[in-house]
A and B are shown apart, each in its own frame.
Chain A
Amino acid sequence: MNSELGSGPARLLAVATILLSSACTYDENLPNADLFGTVVIPKELTSVRIVDIDNEEWVVEDDIRAIGPVYIGVYAGIDETLYSYPHPEWGPLLGDNEQGDAYPYGGTSSGRFAWGCYQATVCKTVSGRYESYQQVLDFFRDELRAPLLDDHGDEVTTAEQYQERCFEIEYVTSDDELDIVGPIDFRDEGDNWVADVSILRSQFKEGMHIWGFADMPSQAFGFSTCDPSTGSYHSNYDEQYYTGTNYRDVLNFPGKYISDGDLVSEVSVEVTDAEAEFELTLGYKHED
């Protein structure tokens, strides 16, 4: 038998291997890069002044639950002259009085508007800011002085009650599926809050700039980047409303949404090496 087989099978195996491996060198040549880094927010800039309908004022200090979404974009350049803070360069003006777009190569956020299962939380709760339902309840009751109320107007007092409401209306069975509670985006590093961010599949242009801002709440704890008339439509018995989401062009027209108290990066990060980690500090507090 051996003599009949000879070296034929070995040759065939070699040919088959070569043929099988012939298409293994496929490269899509995508002009994209994943950028990784951190965003830094000085704690001293995060205090928020709240004014209720009775004009009573108080300050929420050093509380990450009062930090709105942080928007980070990658742009061709930063212009110091457009606003009182550095702002991404505009594209061509659309008309006499119309602002041109900024065109991000990529971007991401740290936190997003995540509806907190009650209408009172529309455009007021942000993902990555609460570890538990109790923290949400505590924040609304103690810091905003506006406790969450259930359908009957009674205060929601226990985390179990809150969780049950969320599970029921969101058809979920675990907290992991609700972005409102979960791991906190920011970690405490002395004088700063620091969050890891990843800008996946950004178009890579050498010399591009990473720039960003944090949407901080207004005196009524509203956020300028959130549109309460969009987002998922909540329909449950007599509850009919949108749950709110960010405006779709936040990174195209950031100047339109940056309002009093928002934190902006004074110095953008120029990217020359896609592999190098970046650190973006939001060190400027904008005041109208």
Chain B
Amino acid sequence: MLRLSSFARLLLLLMMFLPGMARASVTAGTIKGTAVDTGGLPIPGVLVTVRSPNLMGVRQSETDEEGRFNFPELPPGIYELTAEKAAFSRIVRTNLQVNIGRNTILTLEMPLAEAGEEMVIEATRPVVDTETAQRGTVLTKEFLERIPAGRSYQSAAQLAAGTTGGSNANIGGAAYNENTYMLDGVNITDPVTGTFSLNFNFDAIEQIEVLTNAFDPEYGFNLGGGINIVTETGGNVLKFVINSYYTNGNWAPKQDARYAADGTQLAPTDFDSRFELFQAGVKVTGPIVRDRAWFIATYSHERSLINNVGIDLPRDYDGHYVFGKLTVQPVAAHRFTLLSQSNPTTISNTNQGDRFVSPEAQGQQTQGGFVVSGRWDWFISPELFSETIVTLQKTYLENAQVPCTHNQDLGYNPCSPDETENTVDYTTPGRFGVNNAFDRDNYPSFDFDDRWRFSVGTKFSLLQLELAGTHDVKAGFTADMTRWRRTFGYTGDMYYVDLNELSYNPDTLRNYYWVEITGPVSFLSTAENYGAFVQDAWKPVRNLTLRFGTRYDRAVLRNDVGEAIINVGLWGPRFAAVWDPWANNKTKFVGALGRFNDSGRLAVPYYLSQSGFGSKLFLGEYFRNGNATYSNGLENSYDYAPNENTNTVLDGTIAPHSDEFSVGAEREVIRDLAALLYFTGKYTQHLYAFDEINLVWDQDGYNVLGTSDGSQTDIYRLRTPAIARRDYFRTDLGLQKVWSDRWQLQGQYSYTISRGTVQTSPSGFLAVPQQTEYYVNGLLFTDVRHDIAFGGAWDIPNDPWTTQLGMLVFYESGNPVSRYYSNGSALGSSALLRDTYGTYAREEHYLEIRLKVEQEYPVRKGKLSTVAELSNILNSRQGDYAYVNYDNRWIIASRQDPLQLTLGGRYEF
């Protein structure tokens, strides 16, 4: 163990506060433990060796005087450990699983040797990590390959307790935009929306860690959870994998569920939607130099065709995902990693919500981007090491009209005979329909959106420091700079609105009115986020770990003219105690509390941008001739000048944050299978919220009676009031069986209560009328009382024709939906739920069962397998969203996520 001199301690302190550069991340795991004799006495001087297909070379260490050994920073994967010392039997432990951020803790009992004896123990894996407190789950590659998660890491993440919602999950009662997405230690969270920003190559994933709560300060995460993806590294063996999958949901029983406002189920409608998905990929991994330089390169293509009911043209998603990683470790002390991911994607016919959109008016979205990251790991000594990561990321979203084509069979926007194919017309003014007229929805507008992230950071780890026990000390600093450039406008800076009610016919346009727009609007918004942390895992005695530390996060969010709209900083102390009462690594009791801070996102200062359209209204023939006396008073109220944003921010905003506590226990009840029971309470306050400062409302908050400044404009004020809050309580009862004896199982039942005043911290709208019953506490969308998520995998032992079975079961009782809002313009789009009016309706409960069968076939070289996957076997009807109809009342809508069949094949050699 490391005993530090005074100089070393000083150096350590300096490093802790060094304004170095690197992202705090956890991408590795640890094997540690103790070597003892049959009487339980520690054996010093045992040579312990670990090796893995995922580890360059081997790692060796000798046990200290207390028999302890420690292998930190091991790439996740399957390991073999050997322990040997003269006069003792040689111990070999195979099939050890190293998980991200977890400790694989072993007690190696080494009997005295008899001649030539070697003891091999291979089947068992530790299932309880008795030194960590964080809650969540780690999904290993072998498990991910077997479960029917639709080759989506977002779907797999739903297995973690307290995870509900869709692909951008609500974790721990937080909003969908409050999670952090990490890829090999690189923050790939969208800097504007707070959602995931990269569609990623599923084949490259080694492990996924889904963290829900009680994580250490080194995780610079947000109010929600963390999706921490670690990819494969390569290996000393050259491997090729080719796969292809086809999914079809068209042949499912065709019924579309509908619900009345109170949740009462209505008769189903005809269901003529369409869903098809084609996926193909290739992966190459292997060595450049054995044990010195490895690589992985993958390419995936994904194309889906989805039609909503009554829509002729399918939403056509065409994505290409390219991932590459090069890992070089020229000497044992230094490892360099270069990572790159890009995902150019085109989505045609984006509008599937309105059947009255003409083909040539359909929008096209191109999206994608890249992330490039360089990482340096410096292993100064086995107990002292650092990591430094530099990242550059760009994502883009471009929305415009579908480019024209000469291929008339496609049915898209046809080109004029002399028009160049694939051109987009940015000059001809667009046209809308009103009063149920034929809608030319996306045609008149365009939107170009570029988002950049540059981050640098460093982390130092000093392990096994002896000072009244042992300490694992870590400290780090992160600087994360983001920018958002957006340009949007109308073609020709003008749009026409007509009353061509029955069908779209350019010859019979009535020019109801038209609007001239200043533009296009272009703005740049930036943010700087800084975070620093220091933490310690202190083991004062062998069976007790005290984890404590704090982080400090500062966020400066600037609007389009560079004003620091948000400039907040907050400490995030965290403390946890983990107790292994019998000191046998089979049981732990955990208590944790801490504060988690919201570092914000660029959607927040957007509401205080100075950029905006000016517009001027012209009335058409309908008014001039058809009804010359008609006047709606609007014609002269438009200003043909850029609008000035009058929104303000209240002085003294503070960072939104969650104070959280959790207590629980885990115990290995039978070999390799642990049962767990946890309770979590989470109090989130000071969420970003807007309220009006100049409007005077009637008693019900329905109508404005006047303005305090005589203005006709609503002026909003950004605040972080304490009452903008969420209170979340969850009890988890779960089982965790690690992969052994050809099967694995994990899952839990959760009972959740989630109340509060606001669900979503912007980016969405979040305005609260000034003088109504604002901030009424009520059930939130995340109040999913009963939530079950189980996943299992089983290899049927019919060697050599191995059959792999996988199953997922998800059950959610319906989430609450309030049906009544006071003012559509202010509240209609917010997720504020109030229980003072009307009654709550809950969406229908949902049970989904997925099955997957993969059959391997013996081939002369390599491994061939076919896959069949059924999702939503019961064809359950899923209530998945609510919307506001024209009367500003919430209606529960429902779309079926129908039974789907996936067929595919994979060949490895």
| Contact surface of A with B, Cβ cutoff 8 Å | 1, 4-6, 8-9, 12-13, 15-16, 19-20, 22-23, 26-30, 69, 71, 73, 91, 101-113, 127-128, 170-174, 176-177, 179, 197-203, 229, 232-233, 235, 245-246, 248-252
Q: Which of B541, B702, B889 contacts A170 (CB 8 A)?
A: B889
The contact string, 1 if C-beta is below 8 Å from chain A, for chain B 878-900, is: 00000001111101000000000
What residues on A are CB-neighbors of B722 within 8 Å?
26, 28
* B699 and A251 within 8 A (CB): no
Q: B888, A232: Cβ atoms under 8 Å?
A: yes
Q: How far is the CB of B265 from chain A (nearest CB, A)?
A: 14
**Residue contact B699 to A109, C-beta cutoff 8 Å:** yes
- The answer to whether A8 and B468 have CB atoms under 8 Å apart is yes
A232 and B887: CB pair below 8 A?
yes
Asked if B700 contacts A112 (CB within 8 A), the reply is yes
Are B837 and A104 touching (Cβ within 8 A)? no
**CA separation between A69 and B703, bound complex, in Å?**
12
Q: Knowing A106-B708, A174-B838, A246-B698, say if A20 contacts B261 (CB, 8 Å).
A: no
A to B CB contacts below 8 Å, 13 in the list: A4-B540, A13-B575, A19-B573, A20-B595, A29-B651, A103-B707, A107-B706, A128-B699, A171-B889, A173-B839, A179-B702, A200-B774, A245-B702
Asked if residues A23 and B708 are in contact (CB atoms below 8 Å), the reply is: no
Given contacts A103-B709, A177-B838, contact A172 B819 (CB under 8 A): yes
Which residues of B sit under 8 angstroms from A199, Cβ to Cβ? 771
Q: Interface stretch among B191-199, B417-425, B652-660, B791-799?
A: B652-660
**By the criterion CB–CB under 8 Å, are A233 and B771 in contact?**
no
Q: Is B271 an interface residue (CB 8 A)?
A: no
Contacts of B887 in A (CB 8 A): 170-171, 232
Q: How far is the CB of A93 from chain B (nearest CB, A)?
A: 12
B 810-840 contacts with A by CB, 8 A: 819-820, 837-839
Q: In the complex the two chains form, what is the Cα distance from A249 to B595 in whole Å?
A: 46
A174-B707 CB under 8 A given contacts A20-B595, A112-B699, A248-B712? no
Bound-state CA distance A29–B888 (Å) is 33
**Complex-state Cα separation, A74 to B706, whole angstroms:** 11
Interface SS of B by simple majority = loop
CB contact under 8 A between A246 and B705, given known A103-B710, A127-B700, A201-B770: yes
Q: Tell whether B145 is near chain A: CB-to-CB under 8 Å.
A: no
A residues near B686, Cβ cutoff 8 Å: 26
Which residues of B lie under 8 Å from residue A197 when comparing CB positions? 699
Can you name 5 extra interface pairs (CB under 8 A) apart from A20-B659, A102-B706, A252-B710? Answer: A4-B541, A6-B468, A23-B570, A107-B706, A108-B698
Which residues does chain A contribute within 8 Å of B571, judged by CB atoms? 19, 22-23
Residue B546 CB within 8 A of the other chain: yes
Question: In the complex the two chains form, is A12's CB within 8 Å of B696's CB?
Answer: no
**Known contacts A20-B593, A171-B885; is A245 also within 8 Å of B703 by CB?**
yes
Check B706 against A104 for contact (C-beta < 8 Å).
yes
* Across-interface contacts of A248 in B (CB, < 8 A): 703-706, 712
Query: Which of chain A's residues have a CB closer than 8 A to the CB of B632?
Result: 229
- Whether B706 and A250, one on each chain, are in contact in the complex, defined by CB atoms closer than 8 angstroms, is yes
Most buried by A among B540, B698, B707, B837: B698
The reply to whether B705 and A251 contact each other, CB–CB distance below 8 Å, is: yes
Question: How many residues belonging to B are interface residues under a CB distance threshold of 8 Å?
Answer: 62
The residue of chain B having its C-beta at the shortest distance from the C-beta of A1 within the complex is: B541
Which residues of B are found within 8 Å of A174, using beta-carbon distances? 838-839
> For window 777-799 of chain B, which residues contact chain A by CB distance below 8 Å?
none
Contacting residues, chain B, for A109 (C-beta < 8 A):
698-699, 705
With a cutoff of 8 Å between Cβ atoms, the chain B residues found around residue A30 in the complex are 650
| A29–B654 alpha-carbon span in the complex (Å) | 13
- List the 5 closest A-B pairs by CB distance, nearest first: A251-B706, A101-B710, A19-B573, A109-B698, A177-B838
Would you give the 0/1 interface string for B591-632, flagging 1 where the beta carbon is closer than 8 Å to chain A?
001010000000000000000000000000000000000001
Which of chain B's residues have a CB closer than 8 A to the CB of A252? 706-707, 710
By beta carbon, the residue of chain A nearest B822 is A179
Q: Which residue of B lies closest to A175 (CB)?
A: B838
Whether the pair B575, A28 counts as a contact (CB closer than 8 A) is no
Residues of B within 8 A of A232 (CB): 886-888
* CB atoms of B771 and A108 under 8 A apart: yes
B697 within 8 A of A: yes
Give B528-558 as 1s and 0s: 1 = Cβ < 8 Å from A's Cβ atoms.
0000000000101100101010100000000
CB closest residue in chain B, given A108: B699
B53 at the interface (CB under 8 A from A): no
Min Cβ gap B575→A in Å is 5
CB interface residues, B 679-729, toward A, < 8 Å: 686, 696-700, 702-710, 712, 719-722
- Cβ contact within 8 Å between B593 and A173: no
- Report the Cα distance A235→B839, complex, angstroms: 25
Cα A8 to Cα B468 with chains together (Å):
10
Known: A8-B540, A16-B548, A251-B705. A106 touches B696 (CB 8 A): yes
B19 within 8 A of A: no
- Which residues from 554 to 576 on chain B have a C-beta closer than 8 Å to any C-beta of chain A? 570-571, 573, 575
Q: Is there an interface contact between A19 and B550, defined as CB atoms closer than 8 Å?
A: yes
Smallest CB gap from A225: residue in B? B705
Contact of A28 with B699 at beta-carbon distance under 8 Å, contacts A16-B593, A104-B706, A170-B887 already known: no
Nearest A residue (CB) for B820: A177
Give the complex CA separation of A193 and B902 in angstroms: 70
- Identify the closest chain B residue to A245 (Cβ): B703
Check B696–A104 contact: CB distance below 8 A: yes
Q: How far is the CB of A244 from chain B (nearest CB, A)?
A: 10
B757 to chain A minimum Cβ distance, whole angstroms, is 15
Chain A residues, CB < 8 A from B708: 103-106, 203
B789 nearest CB across to chain A (Å): 31
Q: How far is the CA of A8 from the CA of B538 in the complex (A)?
A: 11
Q: Which of A16, A27, A71, A203 contacts B705 (CB 8 A)?
A: A71
Residues of A near B720 (CB, < 8 A) are 28
Interchain CB contact under 8 A, B652 and A29: yes
- Determine if B262 is an interface residue (Cβ-Cβ < 8 Å): yes
Does A73 contact B573, Cβ atoms closer than 8 Å?
Answer: no
- Bound Cα distance from A198 to B709, whole angstroms: 21
- The chain B residue with its CB closest to the CB of A6 is B468
B706 and A176 contacting across the interface, CB-CB below 8 Å? no
CA distance A168 to B593 in the complex (A): 50
B260 at interface (Cβ–Cβ under 8 A)? yes
Name B773's closest neighbour in chain A (CB-CB). A200
Name the distance in Å between A279's Cβ and chain B's nearest Cβ.
17
Residues of A with C-beta under 8 A to B386: none
Q: Is B168 an interface residue (CB 8 A)?
A: no
Q: When chains A and B are docked, how far (Å) is the Cα of A101 from the Cα of B712? A: 12
Contact across chains for A107 and B696 when beta carbons are under 8 A apart: yes
Assess whether A112 is in contact with B540, with CB atoms less than 8 Å apart: no
Contact call A176/B837, Cβ cutoff below 8 A: yes
CB distance from B826 to the nearest CB of A (A): 14
Q: For B820, list chain A residues within 8 Å (CB).
A: 172, 177
* Interface assignment of B772: CB less than 8 Å from any CB of chain A: yes
Contact partners of A8 in chain B: CB under 8 A: 468, 538, 540, 546
Residues of A within 8 A of B353 (CB): none
Nearest-neighbor residue (CB-CB) of A2 within chain B: B541
Among A20, A127, A176, A198, find the residue whose CB has the most chain B CB atoms closer than 10 A. Answer: A20
Give bound CA distance, A201 to B774, whole Å: 10
Please measure, in the bound complex, the distance between the C-alpha atom of A200 and the C-alpha atom of B837, giving whole angstroms: 18
A16 CA to B591 CA in the complex, in Å?
A: 14
Smallest beta-carbon distance B390→chain A, Å:
31
Which B residues touch A113, using CB under 8 A?
703
In B489-542, which residues have CB < 8 Å from any A CB?
538, 540-541
Tell me which residues across on chain A come within 8 A of B819, comparing CB atoms: 171-172, 177
**In the complex, B469 has a CB within 8 A of chain A:** yes
The docked-state distance in angstroms from the alpha carbon of A111 to that of B703 is: 11
With a cutoff of 8 Å between Cβ atoms, the chain A residues found around residue B550 in the complex are: 19
